Structure 1
Amino acid sequence: MVTDGDWDSIQPAFSADGKWLAVVSNRSEDRKENRLSDIWAIELATGRAERLTAGDGNYSTPAWSPAGDVVTWVGHPITEKYGPVTLDDLFIYDRGADELRGLLSSHDREPGNSAIADARYGLPNPTPVWAVDGSAVYTMLSDAGSVHLYRCAVDGPAAPLLDGAQDIQSFTISNDGTVAFAASTMAIPTEVFVRRPDGTVEQITDINRAMLAGVELGEIREVRFESDPGVEVHGWLLTPPGFNPAVRYPAIVEVHGGPHGMYGVGFFHELHVLAARGYVVLYTNPRGSTGYGQEFVAAALGDWGGADYRDVMAGADYLASLDFVDSNRLGITGGSYGGYMTNWVVGQTDRFRAAVTQRSTANRISTYGTSDMNMTYNDWEFAGTPYDNPAHYIDRSPLTWVKNVNTPLLIVHSENDLRCPIGQAEELFTALRKLGKTTEFVRFPNESHGLSRAGKPAHRVERLERICGWFDRYL
């Protein structure tokens, strides 16, 4: 046995000479009450463990250089100002020189793939990959909805190797520098591509051709509009297949989860389904989203239902300004944090004619004690604990404002959801029914927080039919 103790050791990475093993582990004394993770190097001959990080943050995905003298990893210290949303960096640590450097510190973007989609096939963020000669480290980087592949020189700048409007999900690099990568676009689900050393890119699979044959997809355009003065919101507008600009369509605002994720340029099945039912779909990245820099992602800390809400409502204003949108037939939906925002919105305004809340929270105090992550996460997201700052938790809980809800609201929730427990949906439904509001509650047995992405196929179809049916009825 290489490791012991009552802690986890994950993401093992062996040095090239087989003498060392790097792992990710939280071995702090209060590890059950914090979200720290460190990189540890274990000498296999002796079992001696050496902590390479400072015990001050979240670090993961270690990888050894080909020579075995340098280790790289992704992560961040939990800073006083930004806490758990401090942007990750790609670090390299020279063990001999005891020197630690960040290779992406000047980019104000986060390594890895932060894009949210429902057709990703479970591909994980890959470990940073070393060039065979040890001159550079390759990693993905999330930027304004796109996910690029960067080459980060050990002794020079970091620059994109693959950029443009695509969602790179996984990659590997051969000894001659050829890159194989899985990626999707707005119109093409995930396929495998190859980038040759001369820079040419070739798609080498076409597994989705039969599925898309005879299917007409709506067109997607990139949009930007102002929210608060000087604040630009970035997103995309999906129009129905056979779009006619002379027709006034009902429209739906989609709010992503997180809040520290991002909608992007990858294929999103749910959005295309809604468009195929005749809806214009607006999906944006309000404040709190990743991909737009440190200040933007941190803008929602302690202010859920504040600046982010104004950005969502600016999206409704943008839709209403379009000649082909019927401003009296707007809907809203979202899951997880997007479900929270849906609940919040319908308690603050009657602007939307119908709403669907998915895997949501409504009572932030009870969420704090029952979610699988909120005991530490909420300390930052809601400016302290509910015991120290109860007024804020109450004020920013959608359940507090449930008497104001006049929008017909469908509640969709999985019974095995540990992130947003089923009790959140039950509390909201009970209140709405008690108050005589228009609502329905759809419960999915034996499903988790990931129903929309990884649920049973029959349940995923049923979920989409329920969502579309609700909007068909009330929009």
Structure 2
Amino acid sequence: MKKLEIRDLLKFKFISSLSFSPDGKFLGFVVHKMNEEENNYISNIWVYNTESKNLFQLTTFGRESNFIWLDNETILFPSIRDEKEKKRKEKGETFTIFYKISINGGEAEKYFEVPYIVRKIEKLNDQTFVLLVSSDKNIPDFTKPDEKEKQQALKKIKEEKDYEIIDEIPFWQNGAGFTNKKRTRLYLYNLKENTFIPLTDEFTNVIQFDIKNDKKKILFISNRYKNKMKIGADLFLYDVNSNTLEKLTHETSFRYTYAYFLDDSIIFAGSNMKKYGITENPKFYLLEPKTKHVTLLTPDFDLSLRNSVGTDCRYGSNKNAVTDENYFYFITTEWNSSYLNRINKEGKIEKLTKKGGSIDGFDAKNGKIYFVGFKDYKLQEIYELKDTETQITTFNEWVVKERKISKPERFTFLSGDGVKLEGWIIRPVDFDESKKYPAILDIHGGPKTVYGEVFFHEMQVWANEGYVVMFTNPRGSDGRGNEFADIRGKYGTVDYEDLMKFVDEALKRSPFIDKEKLGVTGGSYGGFMTNWIIGHTDRFKAAASQRSISNWISKFATTDIGYFFVEDQHASNPWNNYEKLWWHSPMKYADKIKTPTLFIHSEEDYRCWLAEGIQMFTSLKYFGVESRLVLFKGENHELSRSGKPKHRIRRLKEITEWFNKYLK
């Protein structure tokens, strides 16, 4: 077997968009792979026949990242397929072209075009579709077919391209660029008449929507704002026949996680954020539309309703909640793994998956359940869930068969104040008990996410480079309830102590680790903690700080979530307690740092803006500490997870070479 290398990432397959045909016979999904030459991703639709077990690739164009089923044998997807369409995009025209293709064979046919950027589409009936579109108050209207007006609109876009007018917050969003006066709006589109009916206004952001089985009602969560986006949202019900909109919001300042129809009722999850702030775990509620009566179904439920298990081997998006028959299906994270569950209208919850790992997404239809997951320390595959989990694809099977893999070894330990914690080490491949090895502490982001026993490319690369890799879930992590995750006002205290206690425990249990050759790295919150650690201890001989936070005051005023996240997580803002924000800022302790540090940052990271990395880098250079800053143009906060292929390779190469320089 060969050693796993950085460039093996280019060969991995990533699976997304799992979706059943209306009759449940076919399962569609998208397979993504990297295209190094073009420095992008190739995405094609595949189909699995759940009865014959036949698996086949449906499209070959390579740009089909999402789709819906028009009927039991026809798929609808957006695509740009000729040079004229590309040139229209380049000139600034906004539109989405939809193609349809039969799963029984034949070429894709152009079906219709709409003058909006469509984020999501659902079929209401043969002539009507529900569109979730990107709307920009500052972009001229392209719905009018008049060519003269279109050219005038394009001219205006060209004239305005060098300016950004900002008059609200947030004014930009990670991965979306400047978003001032941009919203996601709901429309009804009539295909026959080519007409558009807006269901929401120009100041409303629609977060999620669902259509009732009888196609007569549309449920959606939205947030309307001018000047400053509020935290929380509203719930609305639209009646298709009467063209009326009804507000169902049951409590002010409520944060809805999602909302779906369950028979004639509505099941939703969310939190009023009163006890644990914006990251408080949601609870389930049942709402009766006719009476507006709301019942709390799960008063004692205390888990996040998402997959928080981290890895650098995903691409694309998947469903994380579905209704089927009399059940609502959802994902939870518990300790180090995510699981598939279901709940009925009485509030009874059943955990459907038992094995650890990660449930990345799923679909359920007529009692059939399939999911995309990381299981048995393999990369993503599709599994059928009955009484057991049965793997049905082998897209990434070659990795475990052809490459050297070192699996994580879990252990538990007690924090300094007696809280049970968990951590792992990964031994170097070709491990020799008689040798001493350098080690890297890898810290997850969030902080409300988790590490688990799922395939992590960077960790396996380092194990193949001869490193011990150490990772843990300190307090602040997900999967163990609100109390464990709540480190508001404590950043850099209990979490830092837990991390250092973990390192002590790992060294005690693993005498083959060379304690004089320790490195530390992490991204986002992990980058903050890397910056914090090097300002509070010299035990690490090298550090790699990625998309980090160095100054909570600057983060408050420059990032897409800063003005509400910082205040919530530190119970402070720059006016009522700037001393506290500065005390928790790693930059405050930069004069104590001696650790050679690499900084990785993306120029379009609006979650932890460029200034955060620059400030820390400048501080270290000012005090004469060996440091290096690598900036990635055209990338954002998701560089390590969905960045351009060449950039992802370069990022990991920079970090690995930095550790090799100082730890070997």
For the aligned pair, the TM-score class normalised by the smaller chain equals over 0.9
Q: 1:453 aligns with which of 641, 645, 652?
A: 641
Matched, 1:147 2:344: no
8 Å contact from structure 1 (residues 113, 125) kept in 2: no
Structure 1 position 78 matched with structure 2 position 273? yes
Q: Which position in structure 2 is the counterpart of 1:54?
A: 251
Cα drift, residue 122 of structure 1: 2.6
Corresponding residue for 1:129?
322
Q: Secondary structure at the match of 1:111?
A: coil
Report the 3-state secondary structure (helix = DSSP H, G, I; strand = E; otherwise coil) of the residue aligned with 1:48.
strand
Instruction: Tell me if the contact between 2:423 and 2:502 (Cα under 8 Å) persists in the aligned partners.
Output: no
1:92 positional shift = 2.4
Alignment-mate amino acid for residue 538 of structure 2: D
Q: Supply the distance in 1 between the matched residues of 2:551 and 2:570 (Cα, whole angstroms).
A: 12
3-state DSSP class of the match of 2:403? coil
For residue 205 of structure 2, give the secondary structure of its aligned residue in structure 1: coil
- Asked whether 1:308 is paired with 2:308, we answer no
Aligned equivalents of 1:31 and 1:424: distance in 2?
25
Q: Which residue identity lines up with residue 4 of structure 1 in the other structure? A: D
- Residue of 301, 304, 311 corresponding to 1:110: 304
1:171 to 362, 375, 383: 362
Which stretch of the first structure deviates more once superposed, 244-253 or 344-353?
244-253
Equivalent of 1:158 in 349, 353, 363: 349
Query: Matched residues in 1 for 2:227 and 2:351: separation?
Result: 37
| Aligned amino acid, residue 588 of structure 2 | T
Quote the residue 1:19 is aligned against.
216
8 Å contact kept, 1:251–1:282: yes
Q: 1:32 aligned to 228, 231, 239, which one?
A: 228
What is the rounded CA distance, in whole Å, between the counterparts of 1:229 and 1:60 in structure 2?
Answer: 33
For the structure 1 residues 204 and 130, does the alpha-carbon distance in structure 2 shift closer, same or farther, using more than 3 Å as the test? same
Which residue is 1:330 aligned to?
518
CA distance in 2, matches of 1:450, 1:431: 25
Please tell me the residue identity of whatever aligns with 1:166: G
CA distance in 1, matches of 2:199, 2:355: 43
Distance in 1 of aligned mates of 2:356 and 2:443? 21
Q: How much does 1:53 deviate?
A: 3.6
Residue by residue over 1:172-206, the C-alpha shift from the partner in whole angstroms, topping out at 9 and shown as x without a partner, is 1121x12101100362011000013xx13311000
Whether contact under 8 Å (1:148, 1:160) holds in the other structure is yes
Asked if structure 1 preserves the Cα contact closer than 8 Å seen for 2:207 and 2:222, the reply is yes
Q: Which residue of 2 aligns with 1:465?
A: 653
Q: 1:9-41, CA deviations, whole angstroms, 9 ceiling, x for partnerless residues?
A: 2322111222211111113x6772422122221
**Any idea what SS the aligned residue of 2:228 has?**
helix
- Whole-Å Cα distance in 2 between the matches of residues 318 and 64 of structure 1? 49
Query: Retained in 2: the 8 A contact 1:187–1:267?
Result: yes
Alpha-carbon distance in 2 for matches of 1:369, 1:386: 9
1:338-357 equivalent positions in 2, closer than 5 A: 338-357=526-545
165 and 193 in structure 1: CA distance in 2 versus 1, 3 angstrom threshold:
same
1:217 deviates by 0.4
Partner of 1:230: 418
Amino acid at match of 2:371: F
Residue in 2 that maps onto 1:99? 293
- Mean alpha-carbon deviation: is it higher for 241-250 or for 334-343? 241-250
Contact 1:225–1:232 (8 Å) recurs in 2: yes
* Secondary structure in structure 1 of the residue aligned to 2:466: coil
* CA gap 1:186/1:402 in 2 versus in 1, 3 angstroms: farther
2:555 and 2:566 in contact (8 A); partners too:
no
The question of whether the paired residues in 2 share the 8 Å contact of 1:333 and 1:357 is answered with: yes
SS of the residue corresponding to residue 452 of structure 1 reads helix
Displacement of 1:106? 2.4
The yes-or-no answer on 1:284 pairing with 2:478 is no
Q: SS at 2:454's partner residue?
A: coil
Q: What residue number does 2:112 align with?
A: none
Following the alignment from structure 1 to structure 2, what is the Cα–Cα distance between the partners of residues 407 and 305?
A: 18
Q: Distance in 1 between matches of 2:636 and 2:568?
A: 25
Report deviation, 1:238: 1.3
Q: Which runs of 5+ in 2 are unaligned?
A: 1-197
**CA separation in 2, counterparts of 1:443 and 1:373?**
22
Residues in 1 aligned to 2:334 and 2:306: alpha-carbon distance in whole angstroms: 10
CA contact (8 A) 1:187 1:217 kept: no
d(CA) in 1 for partners of 2:642, 2:580: 34
- How far apart are the structure 1 equivalents of 2:356 and 2:437? 27
- Contact 2:408–2:453 (Cα < 8 Å) also in 1: no
| Aligned-pair identity (%) | 33
Distance 2:489 2:647 in 1: 35
- Select which of 395, 398, 401 maps to 1:210: 398
Quote the Cα distance in structure 2 between the aligned partners of 1:259 and 1:200: 32
CA contact 2:519–2:543 (8 Å) conserved in 1: yes
Separation (CA, whole Å) in 2 of partners of 1:243 and 1:52: 58
2:282 alignment partner, one of 76, 85, 88: 88
In 2, the alpha carbon distance for the partners of 1:219 and 1:245 equals 16
Aligned-partner residue type, residue 37 of structure 1: A
Code of the residue aligned with 2:612 in structure 1: it is Q
Q: Distance in 1 between matches of 2:583 and 2:299?
A: 37
SS of the aligned residue for 1:262 comes to: coil
- Matching residue's letter, 1:142: T
* Higher gyration radius (CA): 2
Match of 2:373 among 183, 193, 206: 183
Amino acid at match of 1:117: T
**Residue of structure 1 in register with 2:53 after alignment:** none
After TM superposition, the score normalised by the length of structure 2 is 0.68
Map Cα deviations across residues 35-76 of structure 1 (whole Å, 9 max, x no partner): 2122221222223232234232211332112x3x21122321
SS of the residue aligned with 2:402? coil
**Is contact 1:3–1:47 with CA below 8 Å preserved after alignment?**
no
Is the 1:305–1:396 Cα contact (8 Å) retained in structure 2? yes
Residue pair 1:186, 1:268 contacting (<8 A) in 2 also? no
Structure 1 residue 102, shift from structure 2 partner = 4.1
Q: Provide the rounded CA distance (Å) in 2 between the counterparts of 1:179 and 1:112.
A: 18
- What do residues 384-438 of structure 1 show as CA deviations (whole Å, max 9, x unaligned)? 1121111111111111100100111110111110001111111111111111111
CA distance in 2 between partners of 1:31 and 1:215 (Å):
53
The Cα offsets for residues 349-391 of structure 1, whole Å up to 9 and x where unpaired, read as 1011111000001111111100110101111211211211111
Q: CA deviation at 1:459?
A: 0.7
Instruction: List runs of 5+ in structure 1 lacking aligned partners.
Output: none
- Deviates most, 113-122 or 139-148: 113-122
Q: How many residues align?
A: 464
Q: What residue identity is the alignment partner of 2:268?
A: W
Question: Would the aligned equivalents of 1:406 and 1:437 in 2 still touch at CA under 8 Å?
Answer: yes
User: CA separation in 2, counterparts of 1:21 and 1:30?
Assistant: 25
Contact 1:117 1:266 in 2 (8 A): yes
Conservation of the 8 A alpha-carbon contact between 1:217 and 1:240: no
Please report the RMSD computed on the Cα atoms of aligned residues, expressed in angstroms.
Answer: 1.7
